[in-house]
Structure 1
Amino acid sequence: MMNFCKLLSSYQDLVITFVVTEEWLGLIGSAPKPSNIRFRSIPNVIPSEVGRGADFAGFLEAIFTKMADPFDRLLDQLDQPIGCIIADTYLPWVVEIGNRRSIPVASLWTMPPAVFSIFHHYHLITSNLHLTADDDLPVGLTQQEGGVI
């Protein structure tokens, strides 16, 4: 996502606000960046990077349920009008916020294309019995009517 923002920053009339948690701001805040990219943070409402893998399902639940309100409040604090929001596809609540505020939202798939292909073709994987209901699924995936939830 940051690489994409750096590409966008070549348009000098754009001001890009890169929103991360306070923990991530501490990790990347001192990294060199173009002058028209600014960092803003929301509170650490998701599990820390340290030990996150021990409860990946809890991490996903926090992303889906705890980040929207702090992000929405942050938008009220920005000193420049927002022309659009570009968000990671894993943050579906951003679309609701953008719609409510009449701000266009673009969803950017930040994971490898192979992951997208698996999600997109999951129904074929299950319908062709490459993965059956008795197989162990990766954390976060469940089978329901041949789809991913």
Structure 2
Amino acid sequence: MRALLVMMAGTLLPAALSGCMAYDDGAAEPAIPPAPTCPAETKEWSAFINAMPGPGAQPTLIVTGSALVPAGTTATLTAGPTDRAMPPSQRIVLALASSPDAAGGWQQLRAEIKPALPQYRSVIVGCDGNAVATITDIQIAQ
């Protein structure tokens, strides 16, 4: 009798557990391409120092440009480090972020750094460790 119970358990237990197992039909899930980390193209980069006087005014470095971004992403500019050269170069970080509702195309970008230094040698816009643009003509609006 005991041998019969062991044999039945060995036969019925795998069949009972098979209902709990995941079904694999062998079809692979469609590959989702990784989101890009940098825009395909950029253009129209400029930088200037707004040193206009006025109540509470601070010198401000303003950097603008355009980036071609794919649908579902937005581009941002953030201040990076300033080097120790005299006059220094200011780094600006260009990055893409996921934004499911965003339409693709050319996006206008703007970064402001307050307080700005009195003068800059250049502004270097970089993405993912690579320079996208180097701006050397930095005007001062007074």
> TM-score normalised by the shorter chain: which range applies?
under 0.3
Larger Rg: 2
TM-score scaled by length of structure 1: 0.21
Structure with a larger share of its residues in strand: 2
Q: Which has the higher contact order (CA 8 A, sep 6+)?
A: 2
Structure with a larger share of its residues in helix: 1
